[in-house]
Amino acid sequence: MSEKRAVILLSGGLDSATVLAQAQAEGYACYSLSFDYGQRHRSELAAAERVAQQLAVVEHKVITLNLNGIGGSALTDNTIAVPQTPSEGIPITYVPARNTVFLSLALGWAEVLGARDIFIGVNAVDYSGYPDCRPEFIEAFERMANLATKAGVEGLGFRIRAPLQAMSKAEIVQAGLRHGLDYGLTVSCYQADEHGRACGKCDSCRLRAEGFVGAGVADPTQYF
């Protein structure tokens, strides 16, 4: 195939929407992938669909996966509250092995599509301290992916692209705006309501709000 295909992990939040806009700008035929994994903040799935539609991806897929059968996180276990203040170390909103699981499924789809690039919006600057957002994790995943797959073995090689890795939240917002992204479509809050309105208190809301302030632009987020 002559077109350059990419799979983009699209959560519906600010970071992954920016990554999708960037992949589009680089000329990729984009296939976006979201997960219905029993997350509290289900309105992010609606946000992902809005963003995928607005940016006219080739295909948007939602894979259902009952991670709440596994538990262990405030994001998937309703018996654990989402904290309102930043914590020391790795927070309770960490979902065990989440990016590993998501990248694995993206890898499977990429192999079927003949896509070589998988984009993920992880960021190691203004982030929540999740281990699976660090560059050393992304590199180890890429290495493993090229041993795991038929395409990898045949030497075609997958690349895990994390273009936001070293950017501040303000820089991410500025990049998205340059690509014409409407951040009003996105939802970042860990406990957004069914209309996509944000709490303004959780870690994710705090980082997002600081991003708009840092970028010197109006925050389009609706708060409840």
Per CB under 8 A, does 125 bind a second copy?
no
Per CB under 8 A, does 162 bind a second copy?
no
Pick the closer one to a second copy by CB: 142 or 219. 142
Out of 45, 48, 107, 181, the only residue in the binding site for a second copy (CB under 8 A) is: 107
Per CB under 8 A, does 87 bind a second copy?
no
**CA distances (Å), origin 200, targets 63, 130, 206:** 28, 20, 7
Contact assessment for residue 15 and residue 7, using Cβ atoms and an 8 Å cutoff: no
**CA distances (Å), origin 86, targets 120, 202, 208, 209:** 24, 8, 14, 14
Out of 29, 58, 148, 217, the only residue in the binding site for a second copy (CB under 8 A) is: 148
- Between CA 141 and CA 123 the distance in angstroms is 15
Closest CB 30 distance from a second copy, rounded Å: 17
Per CB under 8 A, does 140 bind a second copy?
yes
Per CB under 8 A, does 150 bind a second copy?
yes
Contact assessment for residue 8 and residue 164, using Cβ atoms and an 8 Å cutoff: no
Per CB under 8 A, does 95 bind a second copy?
yes
Contact assessment for residue 9 and residue 119, using Cβ atoms and an 8 Å cutoff: yes
| Number of amino acids touching a second copy (CB under 8 A) | 43
**Phi, psi of 70, rounded to the nearest 5 degrees:** -90, -40
Q: For the purposes of burial, counting CB atoms within 10 Å of the CB of 168, is it exposed (0-12), middle (13-18) or buried (19 or more)?
A: middle
Closest CB 50 distance from a second copy, rounded Å: 21
Per CB under 8 A, does 121 bind a second copy?
no
Contact residues: a second copy, CB under 8 A: 61, 63-67, 69-72, 90, 94-101, 103-105, 107-109, 111-112, 131-132, 134, 136-137, 140-141, 143-145, 147-150, 152-153
